[in-house]
Chains A and B, each alone.
Chain A
Amino acid sequence: MVLTLNPSMKKLVDSDTGTVSREIFWSKELYDQEMEQVFNRSWLFVGHVSQIPNPGDFVLSRMGEEGVIVSLDRQGKVCVSLNSCRHRGNRVCRYDEGNSFAHVCSFHGWTYDPSGALVALPFNEHGYDEMDMGKWGLKQARVELFHGSIWATWDKTAPSFHEYLGGADMYLASGLLHTDGSDNGSAVLGGVVKWRLGCNWKVPCPDTDTTHGWITHRSMALALGVGPTGNPVKPEIDRSQSVGQRRSRYTVSFPEGHTMGVTIPEMDDPSWAASGVWDDKPIIREYLREKFELRKEKLGLAAHLSVGPAIFPNEGWLGRVVRVMHPAGPAMTEIWTYFFVDQDAPTEVKDALASYYEHWYGPGGMTQQDDMENWYALTMASKGPVAQRLDLNYQMRISEPPIHGPSEFGLPGLFAHNYSDENHRRFYQRWAEVMQAKDWGEMAPTGSAALKPGATLFQGSGK
């Protein structure tokens, strides 16, 4: 069943005209609706198993505006509990991370184990008439693990995470693998980088905004001769004048609202080691080169797929960096950023990558600083009643969506021109559907971009 947007929703998001109302970035009413419709029903990224290797380990995370405890129980199961005491609602865990088998509420002492079960109840003996402690544990989210990443939803009726991905699973997996292509070899560096920014959570989504870099990040090309990831570029190239299709590079989206950029891989594509980023650090370059050779042996062409898709609604990637846009009010976002390395990489490689990440990404990152400036400024310039009535333009290449359907290249997803707003249109269309739909039945995505059954990877024409 395909959901038709009702007139009031179509007024906010119109994929036919490629316009989006600025109301969706400021309205408190729509924001409250988002918390219910989008954040309480979607699968959300809450962390990675490398953060909690031992039973009792926990880290705090967020789902929408609400805090959750992500922990490993005695049986080695990952549990995600709402961090709010069932007694009087107090915050139970007050530490960002640690190890504990007894999370004691500081108000009256109700005590929960890593699986959220209420295990100690002061005054129980005479104070409560046979209260069923089993009914008063911390609210548990549904949890699924995907190549070490931890996803959670409050919705019992939501499809499985695999189904939710709609065929984007191979891209998401590619970002989570070890550089050598093996599974479960990635780890999050210590210290999730968190900062607050005055914009709506949707403003940084989706993060495959291919047409902003030439001007937003122009200072890096001019001053340093590098692009947004520190890769050498020629500053004299003015991207505003060269918007042709880059060789086999596409913006790729799924009806489920997931978006990404994909380069059709070829076996002789250069790896990150050869990008020029590591020319002054031969040890790192050599490590990456060596591991990438193993990846090619293991995965063939798929070795070059290191995509890192933005999973609807609020997860996104930059290289091997996951960032999550947590809503904190209509015009406030708390961005949490997770930096991945190979778990078994030598110390000097991990350190070099940590420094590299810090130079370009996060609040101090030379790349991201200028993104935040624009995201904040556009928010403030869109607040007034006159601006609010002017729709935003997402019309780039609207007449050619998508130029290749799923399986054309033997890869899942809907492939559009590298320089187009197709990913944004897809994201906002999905947002509107989820905002309107009563239940997951109504939310069924409009078609599928999964690889067709029986299709073989990389067998398409690639033209």
Chain B
Amino acid sequence: MAELLSNEEIRLRLEVEDFLYNEADLLDEHRYEEWLDLFTDDARYYAPMKRNVSSKDMSRELTTETHDMSWFDEGKETLKMRVAQIRTNVHWAEEPLSRVSHFVSNVRLLDSSASEVGPAEIRVKCRFMVYKNRMEDEESTWIGKRIDTLRRVDGRWKISRREIHIDQNVMLSKNLTNFF
């Protein structure tokens, strides 16, 4: 499409990228409580599963938000529970803590809703790669897409919805203890 971006658009893009990179640092530095602060209280954190279906029938590839199972189907309360579990020192799947690196790329703004002080809500799509290295030699890699809705709250961006599409059918890792 190669349309020229306005200064406002460039500024917004940089703002969003900075938000996402900062978020990745919080996760990779195990600063989970600060990471939770990036979510609105009504946030939804959702990771559908991907089925092998006919290419004529791709609308059925992702499991749906109602009546289907998913890898994750969280609100802020259950995300808090997961963080509290990690902090007990006896959550064996993360004791000791895994080494994790989040890579975020292909950041694009999909759409936004306007307000007087600029966009009130924006949808952002990106690719992610999450690398986990655990104990001596255990490795997992997850690659996929993320679609976030960011909402401006008191002059700061917060995540009100995160949809995570992991490019796997059978999950090739023994468990999912880290955040995406």
- Closest B residue to A220 by beta carbon equals B85
- Closest B residue to A190 by beta carbon equals B68
Are A194 and B171 in contact, CB atoms less than 8 angstroms apart? yes
State whether the Cβ of A334 lies closer than 8 Å to any Cβ in chain B.
yes
Contacts of B54 in A (CB 8 A): 95, 98
Interface of B, secondary structure class, is: loop
B37 to chain A, nearest CB (A): 19
Residues facing B in A215-234 (CB within 8 A) are 215-216, 218-220, 222-224
State whether the Cβ of B35 lies closer than 8 Å to any Cβ in chain A.
no
Are B67 and A189 in contact, CB atoms less than 8 angstroms apart? yes
Given A97-B51, A97-B53, does the pair A373, B175 have CB atoms closer than 8 Å?
A: yes
- Closest B residue to A280 by beta carbon equals B77
B180 to chain A, nearest CB (A): 10
Are B66 and A366 in contact, CB atoms less than 8 angstroms apart? no
Q: How far is the CA of A195 from the CA of B86 in the complex (A)?
A: 22
State whether the Cβ of A124 lies closer than 8 Å to any Cβ in chain B.
no
Q: Which of A215, A219, A363, A375 is in CB contact (< 8 Å) with B176?
A: A363
Contacts of B89 in A (CB 8 A): 219
Are B174 and A359 in contact, CB atoms less than 8 angstroms apart? no
Residues facing A in B28-56 (CB within 8 A) are 47-49, 51-54
Are A196 and B171 in contact, CB atoms less than 8 angstroms apart? yes
Given A190-B69, A216-B92, A354-B67, does the pair A195, B173 have CB atoms closer than 8 Å?
A: yes
Residues facing B in A303-352 (CB within 8 A) are 334, 339, 347, 350-351
- Closest A residue to B177 by beta carbon equals A369
Residues facing B in A57-101 (CB within 8 A) are 94-98
Kindly name the residue among A189, A195, A374 whose own CB sees the greatest number of chain B CB atoms within 10 A. A195
Are B174 and A196 in contact, CB atoms less than 8 angstroms apart? yes
Are B63 and A363 in contact, CB atoms less than 8 angstroms apart? no
Are B171 and A354 in contact, CB atoms less than 8 angstroms apart? no
State whether the Cβ of A169 lies closer than 8 Å to any Cβ in chain B.
no
Given A224-B84, A224-B85, does the pair A219, B91 have CB atoms closer than 8 Å?
A: yes
**Residues of chain A at interface, number, CB under 8 A:** 45
Are A219 and B85 in contact, CB atoms less than 8 angstroms apart? yes
Given A219-B85, A358-B73, A366-B85, does the pair A191, B68 have CB atoms closer than 8 Å?
A: yes
State whether the Cβ of B170 lies closer than 8 Å to any Cβ in chain A.
yes
Q: How far is the CA of A223 from the CA of B85 in the complex (A)?
A: 5
B11 to chain A, nearest CB (A): 36
B149 to chain A, nearest CB (A): 19
B85 to chain A, nearest CB (A): 5
State whether the Cβ of B105 lies closer than 8 Å to any Cβ in chain A.
no
A212 to chain B, nearest CB (A): 11
Are B169 and A190 in contact, CB atoms less than 8 angstroms apart? no
Q: How far is the CA of A223 from the CA of B88 in the complex (A)?
A: 6
Residues facing B in A185-228 (CB within 8 A) are 189-198, 215-216, 218-220, 222-224
Are A366 and B81 in contact, CB atoms less than 8 angstroms apart? yes
Are B57 and A98 in contact, CB atoms less than 8 angstroms apart? yes
Contacts of B81 in A (CB 8 A): 223-224, 359, 366
State whether the Cβ of A454 lies closer than 8 Å to any Cβ in chain B.
no
Q: How far is the CA of A362 from the CA of B171 in the complex (A)?
A: 10
Q: How far is the CA of A15 from the CA of B129 in the complex (A)?
A: 48
- Closest A residue to B47 by beta carbon equals A364
Given A218-B90, A357-B69, does the pair A96, B53 have CB atoms closer than 8 Å?
A: yes
Contacts of A357 in B (CB 8 A): 69
Q: How far is the CA of A283 from the CA of B136 in the complex (A)?
A: 47
Are B173 and A374 in contact, CB atoms less than 8 angstroms apart? no
Against A, the Cβ 8 Å flags (1 = close, 0 = not) of B142-180 are 000000000000000000000000000111111111000
Are B175 and A368 in contact, CB atoms less than 8 angstroms apart? yes
Given A373-B93, A374-B92, does the pair A193, B174 have CB atoms closer than 8 Å?
A: no
State whether the Cβ of B82 lies closer than 8 Å to any Cβ in chain A.
yes
State whether the Cβ of A372 lies closer than 8 Å to any Cβ in chain B.
yes
Residues facing A in B87-132 (CB within 8 A) are 87-93
State whether the Cβ of A355 lies closer than 8 Å to any Cβ in chain B.
yes
Are B174 and A197 in contact, CB atoms less than 8 angstroms apart? yes
Q: How far is the CA of A438 from the CA of B47 in the complex (A)?
A: 47
B53 to chain A, nearest CB (A): 6
State whether the Cβ of B78 lies closer than 8 Å to any Cβ in chain A.
yes
Contacts of B90 in A (CB 8 A): 215, 218-219, 222
State whether the Cβ of A391 lies closer than 8 Å to any Cβ in chain B.
no
- Closest A residue to B178 by beta carbon equals A364
State whether the Cβ of A278 lies closer than 8 Å to any Cβ in chain B.
no
In the A-B complex, the 8 residue pairs with the closest CB atoms: A195-B171, A190-B68, A219-B91, A191-B63, A364-B176, A223-B84, A191-B69, A369-B93
| 20 further interface pairs, Cβ-Cβ under 8 Å (given A362-B71, A364-B72) | A96-B51, A189-B67, A195-B171, A196-B172, A223-B84, A223-B85, A354-B67, A354-B68, A354-B73, A358-B71, A359-B73, A363-B175, A364-B47, A364-B176, A366-B85, A369-B176, A372-B174, A372-B175, A376-B138, A376-B174
> B residues near A, CB below 8 A?
47-49, 51-54, 57, 63-64, 66-74, 78, 81-82, 84-93, 138, 169-177
> A residues near B, CB below 8 A?
94-98, 189-198, 215-216, 218-220, 222-224, 334, 339, 347, 350-351, 354-355, 357-359, 362-364, 366, 368-370, 372-376
